[in-house]
């Protein structure tokens, strides 16, 4: 099915205002439409009761509101919820999403809503984090990640990135999303223009209204793109560097894309980021049992981290069927953290969430793909 252009989640007050002006609608219509979508959570133009009937019909015929279909919605026992979304045409993607059939996994991405374990006295999670995708598939090909298995199938448009947040905000029990992480499928800095357009909409008071400081862009590291982000994005977002190994040899074995750069070059770009933005970097480090979780790796990582203003997030690997990596032992994770802390590095162990719903990145799409192919 082909959707009409434009896609509402791609528009700003200015571009929607121009669209309305071309149709000779009153000036305030753009504001009203955006209020319906972002404040009231309504994506059906027929329900926008303060618009004229003729305008509602025209909106429905000439603009796309929801450009994806939810193929699956899973809820884990810890409150994590995950969506597998099927994008039904190329839409406004700068690089068309490939795939022929309506159920082609090459058109699917995942997004996850993760409530924090801390609760207010009333029992409400203190944080709700939306983990969203920026591409369909991923070009980076990390050896431990299901998203990288089939390579890159296309970029998501800015509108489709925002649509994921909007959908997650409307899941049962979610009153408000407080944090955004670009840690789903894809390398955000390889889809630069769409990601920064989406970040502006997510942070805008007229859009999702989520403070830029609560938005984290996570990258495996493209030094030039990190510098460009510091220059071009006026918003104080957080940058997370997915390091995953403390030396180039091991990193290149785990992350094929890292053969294009060195850790030293990445650290140089991160220092420029700090100089320009004044914001500390988060180093993400996924612990793989017996591979990068040994004490000597912790010592090396401490050396790397000490050259930056950085925090380290340690993530315990969630096993993916068919992948040759194991979840690290609890004792090894603690020892790793202790070594970092003793060396003066601020290191946190990130809790694994949603383990009972295949919440590791790309796992749901991978399983849908296997089911489609009968594997
Ligand atoms: S971990 Fe991230 S960067 Fe690596 S293949 Fe998966 S989605 Fe891509």
| 372 pLDDT tier (thresholds 50, 70, 90) | very low
Out of 1.10.150.530, 1.10.10.10, 3.40.50.740, 3.90.960.10, the CATH code matching 8-62 is 1.10.150.530
Q: How far is the CA of 55 from the centre of ligand 1 (A)?
A: 43
**Best of 110, 148, 185, 360 for a ligand 1 pocket test (most atoms within 8 Å of beta carbon):** 148
Which of 131, 142, 270, 361 is labelled catalytic? 361
Q: How far is the CA of 138 from the centre of ligand 1 (A)?
A: 6
Q: Is residue 8 predicted with pLDDT exceeding 90?
A: yes
| pLDDT tens by residue, 44-74 | 999 999 999 999 999 999 999 999 999 999 9
Q: Is residue 345 predicted with pLDDT exceeding 50?
A: yes
Q: Is residue 371 predicted with pLDDT exceeding 70?
A: no
Distance CA 56, CA 47 (A): 8
The ligand 1 site (C-beta within 6 Å) comprises 138, 140-142, 145, 147-148, 185-187, 220, 361
Per-residue pLDDT, averaged over 134-159, amounts to 89
Nearest to 16 by CA among 51, 168, 213, 188: 51
Per-residue pLDDT, averaged over 291-299, amounts to 98
Q: Please, where in the chain does CATH 3.20.20.70 lie?
A: 68-373
Whether 343 contacts 299, CB under 8 Å: yes
Is 131 among the catalytic positions?
A: no
Out of 3.20.20.70, 3.40.50.620, 3.30.830.10, 3.30.70.260, the CATH code matching 68-373 is 3.20.20.70
Residue 26 DSSP label: -
Per-residue pLDDT at 133:
95
Per-residue pLDDT at 375:
38
Q: Please, where in the chain does CATH 1.10.150.530 lie?
A: 8-62
Distance CA 23, CA 71 (A): 35
Whether 76 contacts 113, CB under 8 Å: no
Q: Is residue 37 predicted with pLDDT exceeding 70?
A: yes
Per-residue pLDDT at 123:
78
Closest atom of ligand 1 to CA, residue 141: 5
Range list of H helices, 157-262:
158-169, 192-203, 223-232, 248-254
Which of 20, 55, 110, 111 is labelled catalytic? 110
Is 20 among the catalytic positions?
A: no
Per-residue pLDDT, averaged over 170-196, amounts to 94
């Amino acid at each position: 099915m082909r959707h009409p252009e434009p896609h509402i989640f791609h528009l700003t007050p200015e571009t929607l205002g121009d669209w309305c002006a071309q149709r000779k609608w009153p000036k305030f219509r753009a504001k009203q439409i955006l209020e319906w979508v972002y404040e009231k959570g309504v994506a059906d133009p027929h329900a926008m009761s303060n618009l004229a009937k003729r305008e509602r019909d025209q909106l429905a015929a000439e603009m796309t509101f929801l450009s994806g279909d939810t193929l699956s919605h899973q809820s884990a026992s810890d409150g994590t919820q995950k969506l597998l979304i099927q994008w039904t045409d190329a839409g406004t993607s700068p690089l068309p999403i490939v795939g022929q059939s309506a159920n082609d996994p090459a058109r699917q991405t995942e997004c996850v809503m993760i409530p924090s374990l801390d609760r207010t006295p009333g029992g409400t999670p203190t944080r709700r984090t939306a983990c969203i995708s920026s591409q369909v598939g991923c070009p980076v090909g990390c050896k431990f990640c299901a998203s990288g298995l089939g390579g890159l199938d296309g970029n998501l448009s800015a509108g489709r990135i925002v649509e994921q947040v909007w959908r997650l905000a409307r899941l049962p029990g979610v009153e408000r999303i407080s944090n955004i992480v670009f840690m789903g499928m894809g390398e955000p800095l390889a889809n630069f223009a769409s990601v920064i357009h989406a970040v502006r909409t997510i942070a805008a008071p007229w859009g999702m209204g989520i403070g830029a400081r609560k938005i984290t862009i996570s990258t495996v590291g493209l030094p030039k793109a990190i510098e460009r982000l510091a220059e071009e994005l006026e918003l104080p977002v957080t940058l997370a560097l997915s390091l995953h190994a403390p030396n180039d040899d091991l990193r290149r074995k785990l992350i094929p894309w890292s053969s294009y750069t060195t850790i030293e070059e990445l650290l140089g770009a991160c220092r420029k980021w700090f100089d320009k933005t004044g914001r500390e970097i988060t180093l993400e480090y996924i612990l793989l049992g017996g591979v990068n979780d040994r004490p000597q790796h912790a010592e090396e990582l401490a050396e790397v981290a000490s050259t930056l203003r950085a925090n380290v997030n340690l993530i315990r690997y969630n096993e993916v069927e068919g992948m040759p990596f194991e979840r690290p032992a609890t004792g090894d994770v603690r020892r790793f953290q202790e070594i970092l802390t003793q060396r003066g590095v601020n290191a946190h162990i990130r809790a694994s969430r949603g383990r009972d719903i295949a919440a590791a990145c790309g796992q749901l799409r991978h399983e849908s793909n296997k089911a489609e192919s009968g594997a």
